[in-house]
Amino acid sequence: MEKKRVYTFGNGQAEGNAQMREQLGGKGANLAEMNLIGVPVPPGFTITTDTCNEYYAIGQDKIVEILKDDVNKAVAHTEALMNCKFGDVENPLLVSVRSGARASMPGMMDTILNLGLNDEVAEGMVKKTNNPHFVYDSYRRFVQMYGDVVLGMKPVNKEDIDPFEAIIEKVKEEQGVTLDKDLSVESLKKLVGLFKAAIKEQTGSDFPTDPMEQLWGAICAVFRSWMNERAILYRKMEGIPDEWGTAVSVMAMVFGNMGDTSATGVCFSRDAGNGENLFNGEYLINAQGEDVVAGIRTPQQITKIGSQRWAERAGISEEERVAKYPSMEEAMPELYAELDALQDKLEHHYHDMQDMEFTVQEGKLWFLQTRNGKRTGTAMVKIAMDLIKEGLIDEKTAILRCEPNKLDELLHPVFDKAALKSAKVITQGLPASPGAACGQIVFHADDAEAWHKNGHKVVMVRIETSPEDLAGMSAAEGILTARGGMTSHAAVVARGMGKCCVSGAGEIVVNYKAKTVEIGGVVYKEGDYLSLNGTTGQVYAGQIATKEAEVSGDFKELMDLCDKYTKMEVRTNADTPHDAQVARNFGAKGIGLTRTEHMFFDGEKIKAMREMILADTVEGREKALAKLLPYQTEDFYGILKAMDGCHVNIRLLDPPLHEFVPADDNVQGQKDMAEEMGVTIEEIQRRVHSLHENNPMLGHRGCRLGVTFPEISAMQTRAIITAACRLKKEGFDPHPEIMVPLVGILYELKQQKEIIKKVAAEVMAEMGVEVPLEIGTMIEIPRAALTADRIATEAEYFSFGTNDLTQMTFGYSRDDVASFLPDYLNKKILKADPFQVLDQKGVGQLIKMAVEKGRGVRPGMRTGICGEHGGEPSSVKFCAKIGMNYASCSPFRVPIARLAAAQASVEEER
């Protein structure tokens, strides 16, 4: 049986439904579903995502040939329901052609509206509608969109404005109007001709007049847009596989630009910025949908309360607001009531916040799209917790609804209130995406990327953003736009990325060529500092101090839910009492990794460390280590105290000794060290040279240092146990664990364990107090994983150092991988950077085997992960699935790991 590639919908009937996202994409599946539940949707059809993959496999000509009969039948189906005919001069049907992957990708792919127009059809529509302004406004829009999307008519240079916009601005100037909607019929006709001539001149192609040729051009262009630069970048950022493909939905056009009884808008069933349970959105009278999301015109609010809040921020009186900027609720009360009822119906049907697009054509409401709305981390948590309280979802569903990585947004810094009092507000825009951002002004996406790579924090300033700006938006701290509302491209994408954004700051004047922005009569140049408050929409000159964010009640409720369902605990990687306390405040149940080498770099500590390195005898090393002992003891005392009652896993010295002395090429540093140590520079250079290794990460480090210099392990053990005994005497409950790094042979661990046990026993006897102590090892060498059953005869626990285990399993140097890794990712040799996302098929299997082998010898053996992967959600879930006891990560990743661990438990149950 021939596989089905085209699914029709319309008039309350549909061949698809909401469960068919994989085949029909999110848009196509939801268009079908809305038909089935009685929401008014223009009829049309959806071409499947698999067809997109076929397009890339067999090419455009063959895919058109395969689809031709099915598309012709689907067009006829749409014609019958709309009672008009595609390409007909007297009673024409126009269509829109839209993309739609199974995961929401707002603005990343292409859409074409008003398709099916040519000169003859336009004149026929004028006779039919008696509305020439509407017809030629639609015609110029179609030529503009088709020219851009299908024929590739784009700006030549980044400083240039869109070539079509340049033509529009010139014609508006000639006619003496400021808004597109005020152009006369003659000016609109003129634009059509000028657009076609410009397309021919720049692209060498004539604009197609045959509607079916137009339709196939648009369908194939949407398929092509799946592999455009911005879509590829967005998929990388969001972890969306390339092989999913996009569906194409072709719908009968309904028109929001037919006059003052027509409108278009975008709305959300709840606030996408803060999660407030308040219907909100924006609309434009006598406009088409692209006008709202592109930010070309700043739209009006749908609800009265939204309009009043907007006016208050903008400093507009209630009288002026009602007269000039009425909400849809006030201007179109009956249509608003219908819209409000349907948005509520959709939220209850999907049990989630909905992002919807609609059009009003001469008093009739149509829905063009619904999807689960993109939201900030704050909104994500609040909406999930509110939906539980409202009985729309259960606790486990709420846990699964939240994206672990988006919790990071709740931990971003906010402006210090005291600093804000003295800050100068230079303009006010819309609070499009909350948060605080401070950085140097840049005007172009590629500049934002370049400045960011060079270590600068930047704020990207644009007239309006377009999907092509995605990479720059990702690199920026925040985004400021002159145009656009709360549902513009800048706002929606920024919220999805968790970026601070102020949109629609209408007073700013941007000059791309001069790279300046004028605000309130003051000219700011590229490189000047601006600060944005995405929560209030205020823009400030200069830099404003920030402070750490405070955790909200909803956030705590979510974390409590995670504790209720999780089986795996989360610890932190912390080297200071401050980091330990921060992590504990975020819910860490202990420390999974304390890197003792990070404690050696302060003034007197590094001096004593260097004395130890310079010493040629055991006695000399012990003398220097004796100077380090009190420092180490105080460090461990502070950390164990901060984590009172929790396990604290302390790794013995790991890095090669050359890291503690000035490098070969740092002559000044060597001179300073010689002077400080009271020796000749030649002596320093001799020792530095003797420490040189061709591959230090595989050299004299980890337990190998402890084997050759046992006095180092002895000193560190004495410091750890002394600190623990002091705390025990003071009434605290310390639980130190001592971890031997880089073990690959059982006897390495055995030798180190003997030193640790001997010194620990001595200290406890000296101080007259017993503290619990466990001795384990870090599994980070493949041989250790392969012989984990032998190593478990001495190790009381395993902690997996996945940074080194990944390095040694792949044979990739972490320091050099950047030279080829981008090519591996681009060419699909690797799906993800294995140093960021745990390689479950290779490294993961070594871990799984080591856990099983270890527990085979030592039943119930505690195991955990402490590499960078310990805070990456998919890696955490893998570790939970194979039965690890804990994941350890940096303090600010603790909430992310807690949510991922809880999701792993819930997913396992389901």
Catalytic residue annotation = 489, 866
**Is the distance from CB of 362 to CB of 262 less than 8 angstroms?**
yes
Which residue spans within 153-259 are E strands per DSSP? 246-252
Q: Where are the alpha helices (DSSP H) in 370-516?
A: 377-389, 395-401, 417-422, 445-453, 470-475, 489-497
490, 504, 526 from 443: Cα distances, Å: 14, 16, 7
**Is the distance from CB of 250 to CB of 215 less than 8 angstroms?**
yes
**Is the distance from CB of 457 to CB of 568 less than 8 angstroms?**
no
Q: Where are the alpha helices (DSSP H) in 239-392?
A: 289-294, 304-314, 318-324, 328-331, 333-350, 377-389
290, 308, 441 from 542: Cα distances, Å: 34, 30, 10
Tokens representing residue 172 in the block: 């508006």
Cα–Cα distance between 28 and 50 in angstroms, integer? 13
Burial of 459 (0-12, 13-18, 19+ CB in 10 A): buried
- Burial 745-767, CB ≥16 within 10 A → b, else e: bbebbebbbebbeebbeebbeeb
Cα 525 to chain center, whole Å? 29
Q: Among 428, 463, 425, which Cα is nearest to 313's?
A: 428
Helix (H/G/I), strand (E/B), else coil: 542: coil
Strand partners, 86: 93
- DSSP assigned state of 552: P
Tokens representing residue 250 in the block: 């072709």
Q: Among 700, 714, 389, which Cα is nearest to 561's?
A: 389
Q: Among 662, 661, 742, which Cα is nearest to 700's?
A: 742
Could you tell me if residue 642 is left (phi over 0), alpha (psi between -120 and 50 degrees) or otherwise beta?
alpha
Q: Among 651, 659, 599, which Cα is nearest to 629's?
A: 599
Give the number of other CB atoms < 10 A from CB of residue 22.
Answer: 14
Cα–Cα distance between 141 and 180 in angstroms, integer? 11
- DSSP assigned state of 840: T
Q: Given the DSSP bridges, would you call strands 263-268 and 354-361 parallel, antiparallel or unpaired?
A: antiparallel
Cα–Cα distance between 532 and 459 in angstroms, integer? 8
Cα–Cα distance between 618 and 897 in angstroms, integer? 44
Tokens representing residue 351 in the block: 């049990």
422, 454, 460, 462, 584 from 448: Cα distances, Å: 28, 10, 7, 12, 36
Q: Among 86, 95, 111, which Cα is nearest to 27's?
A: 111
HSE-up of 533 (CA within 13 Å, CB side)?
A: 24
Tokens representing residue 329 in the block: 């609720």
Torsion angle defined by CA atoms of residues 550, 554, 558 and 563, in that order, rounded to the nearest 10 degrees: 70
**Is the distance from CB of 245 to CB of 5 less than 8 angstroms?**
no
Burial of 617 (0-12, 13-18, 19+ CB in 10 A): exposed
Strand partners, 847: none
